[in-house]
Structure formats: C-alpha cells, structure tokens
C-alpha cells in the first residue's frame, strides 16, 4: 500500500508542529492535582485575566450566538482605525495575528520563494513559510540582538517577505527606532517587511513603524488582543498596512474568520485603558523583580522589553520538568535552538515569587 505521505505536499514531511506552552489542564491531569493549583508562565498571557469590560460585553454578545458574525469586522476595524489614525481599509482582522501571517503566505509565498527572519525569532514565520514551500533564510542575532544589516544583506531575488518581531519572542530583544529607520530607508520596494508588534503595548518608548504604512511603503504591522488585553483564547489579531496590500490580504481570508463574541470582546477591550494600565504596571514590576532575582542567582538573562524574560538555566528541558513537578509551567526553548534557556512569562507578584522559589530549588 502506498503511504499517504506520498500523496501529501512534500514540504509537510519535515514540517515541525508548533509546540504551544503546556496547557494547565494537561499538567493538572498528569500531576493529578486541581488545575487551580497550577501556575502557567509559559505563553506570555495576561496574569490579570481578560479586560473586565470585554468579559461583560462578551456575556451579552453570547445572546446572539445563533447569528453569523459580521465577516468584515466593521466596528472593530473602525475603532482600530480611529485609534491609530488610519482608515478602516488599512486594517485586516485575523484569528489571532498568527492568521495574518498565514494570509501573507497565501498572498505572497510560493514554492521556492524565500523569507528572511532572525535566528531565535518567533517560530511561526518559519513554520508557515515551510507550509507554503518557501525557504526561511535565518540571519544571525549576535547576543540575541536582531541584526537588520544582516537581514538586508540576506536579500536575494527570491526574497518575498522579511519578518521582524519587535520585541522578539522568545528573546525579548527590542530593536531601536534608529535601526528601523535605517533599515527601511534602504529597503527595495518589491519586498514586504512585517513588523510583528504583539507586545507593543508593553513598551515604554515604542518605535513608530506605522509612519511607514502612512507613507505607503510595503509594510505590515501586526498587533494582537492576546497579550495586554488578555484575550488570547478568543483569537483576535490584526494587521495594519497600505490599502492595496490589505485588499490583497482580504482575498485570502475566510468569510467569518473572527467570531462575533471575540469581535465584541476586542472592541470593549480596546477602550479599557484601566486594564491595560494595570497590566503594564504589574508586568513592569514583575519583570524588574524576576531580572533582579536572576542577577542575584548569577543566571544569564536577556533584559526583556515585553511580558517575559529569557534566562539561561543550564539545561532548559530538565529545569522545565523540575518546575513542572512543582506545578509551575515555563517554556523550554530547545525548539528555538536554545537548549540551555527557558522563557518565563511575568505573572502576578505572588506567582513570580513562587516561580523564583521553585527555580532556586530546581537549580540546587
């Protein structure tokens, strides 16, 4: 009998499966404990939970769950456009910002094309490019700092998209405005640059990449409701780009890709300044605490700009397991070719303290 793999697209054979942070329920089952006892610091989620305004609006929206959602996402796109100083036609909604990455691949990647991404950068770019038969050219990131000059030098006639996560996940590194400006000023007009800004709202001095969208450059800026707004489960992200680019991406989108409850929740969360402020304060204090503790413990870490910190624990997989036994889930980074490191999401201060106490025991 022939193998089904002989019929499947050949690039699927070696395609790695995305490994998400280990779910709380799975861990609770394995340890045979109450899920409430597990602390998950593995997926850069909001430790304070969803925006309360969003939660309230979504409860009401459930009453209309029999209706298909507004596939165009009119009100949410309108609100985003108003907030950011764009037109609705500059915004595309995705089932998480991950889906917008997939739209880009549908629209611009074919077999034999290339994308450029930094080593140790968010793995979705490579996985999605591979799915579409495109090759990922990975450029070095000395000391975990993405090198935009090296990205520029890696351009070939096959290059279609350059992905820049800023700040990057899992390293936490942030690229400055100067470097971005310099890079964009040299970019040829036929290549799309994607700035993935999933953690934008956590930054004290965020770089301005939207100016380049306003200038009509081939730039896509990605943002999400999964992080500061605390709505990761709902899957809402968006891209901001010149109108013609959005028009192309819209062709690749399934009609009802963002559900109605999620659209309502995101719309309410967008105006919940109090929740965003509180989340940022919690994350700022928690990140400072974690980094101080790592320094005291003489552990190497990459100073983070977002709601997580990457720290060298010697053997990431072993420490992950030891922490798991203590009911704390972090993220081992072998899949990112960083076997010595783990990434720890900033939690509430109580969670951070428990995590550090467990880490000290795990390392002793």
Ligand X SMILES: Cc1ncc(COP(=O)(O)O)c(C=O)c1O
- Residues forming contacts to ligand X in the complex (CB under 6 A) are 44, 96-98, 122, 165, 169, 196, 198, 224, 226, 232, 237
Give the shortest CB-14-to-ligand X separation in angstroms: 23
Give the shortest CB-196-to-ligand X separation in angstroms: 5
Neighbours of 59 (CB within 10 A): 12
| 109 vs 231 by CB, closer to ligand X | 231
Q: What region does 4 belong to: left with phi over 0, alpha with psi -120 to 50, or beta?
A: alpha
Neighbours of 126 (CB within 10 A): 19
Alpha-carbon span 354 to 337, nearest angstrom: 27
For residue 13, with 0-12 CB atoms within 10 Å meaning exposed, 13-18 middle and 19 or more buried, which class applies? exposed
| 73 vs 96 by CB, closer to ligand X | 96
Nearest to 327 by CA among 29, 89, 87, 105: 29
Give the shortest CB-6-to-ligand X separation in angstroms: 33
Alpha-carbon span 353 to 302, nearest angstrom: 19
Tokens of 313: 């624990």
| Strand-strand pairing, 328-329 and 308-312 | unpaired
Q: What are the b/e assignments for 18-55, b being 16+ CB within 10 Å?
A: eeebbebeebbeeeeeeeeebbbbbbbbbbbebbebbb
Q: How many CA atoms lie within 13 A of 298 on its CB side?
A: 2
| 165 vs 213 by CB, closer to ligand X | 165
Q: What are the b/e assignments for 176-212, b being 16+ CB within 10 Å?
A: eeebbeebbeebeeebbbbbbbbbbbbeeebbebbeb
| Strand-strand pairing, 192-196 and 301-302 | unpaired
Give the shortest CB-3-to-ligand X separation in angstroms: 33
Which stretch of DSSP H or E encloses residue 343?
A: strand 341-345
Give the shortest CB-104-to-ligand X separation in angstroms: 12
Give the shortest CB-113-to-ligand X separation in angstroms: 21
Give the shortest CB-199-to-ligand X separation in angstroms: 7
| 122 vs 144 by CB, closer to ligand X | 122
| 150 vs 232 by CB, closer to ligand X | 232
Residue nearest to ligand X (CB): 96
| 21 vs 318 by CB, closer to ligand X | 21
| 46 vs 351 by CB, closer to ligand X | 46
Give the shortest CB-62-to-ligand X separation in angstroms: 22
| 187 vs 198 by CB, closer to ligand X | 198
Give the shortest CB-198-to-ligand X separation in angstroms: 4
| 46 vs 293 by CB, closer to ligand X | 46
Helices 273-296 and 349-363 cross at an angle (nearest 10°) of 20
């Amino acid at each position: 009998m022939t193998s089904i793999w002989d019929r499947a697209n050949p690039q699927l054979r070696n395609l790695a499966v995305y490994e998400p942070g280990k779910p709380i329920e799975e861990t609770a089952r394995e340890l045979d404990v109450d899920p409430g006892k597990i602390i998950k610091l593995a997926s850069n989620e909001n430790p304070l939970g969803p925006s309360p305004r969003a939660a309230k609006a979504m409860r009401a929206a459930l009453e209309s769950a029999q209706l298909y959602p507004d596939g165009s996402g009119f009100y949410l796109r309108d609100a985003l456009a108003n907030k950011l100083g764009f037109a609705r036609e500059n915004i595309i909604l995705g089932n998480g910002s991950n889906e917008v990455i997939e739209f880009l691949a549908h629209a611009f990647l074919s077999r034999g094309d290339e994308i450029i991404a930094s080593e140790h950068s968010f793995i979705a770019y490579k996985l999605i490019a591979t799915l579409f038969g495109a090759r990922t050219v990975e450029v070095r990131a000395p000391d975990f700092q993405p090198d935009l000059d090296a990205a520029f030098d890696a351009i070939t006639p096959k290059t279609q998209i350059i992905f820049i996560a800023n700040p990057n996940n899992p390293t936490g590194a942030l690229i400055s405005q100067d470097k971005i400006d310099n890079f964009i000023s040299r970019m040829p007009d036929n290549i799309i640059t994607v700035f993935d800004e999933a953690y934008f709202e956590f930054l004290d001095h965020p770089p301005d990449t939207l100016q380049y969208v306003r200038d009509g450059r081939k730039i896509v800026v990605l943002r999400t409701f999964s992080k500061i707004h605390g709505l990761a489960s709902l899957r809402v992200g968006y891209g901001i780009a010149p109108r013609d680019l959005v028009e192309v991406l819209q062709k690749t989108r399934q009609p009802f890709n963002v559900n109605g409850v999620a659209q309502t929740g995101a719309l309410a969360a967008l105006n919940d300044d109090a929740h965003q402020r509180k989340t940022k304060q919690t994350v700022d204090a928690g990140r400072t605490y974690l980094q101080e503790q790592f320094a005291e413990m003489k552990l190497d870490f990459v100073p983070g700009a977002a709601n997580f910190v990457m720290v060298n624990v010697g053997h990431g997989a072993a420490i992950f397991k030891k922490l798991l036994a203590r009911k704390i889930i972090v993220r081992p980074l072998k899949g990112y070719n960083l076997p010595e490191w783990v990434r720890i999401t900033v939690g509430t201060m109580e969670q951070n303290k428990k995590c550090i106490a467990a880490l000290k025991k795990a390392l002793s």
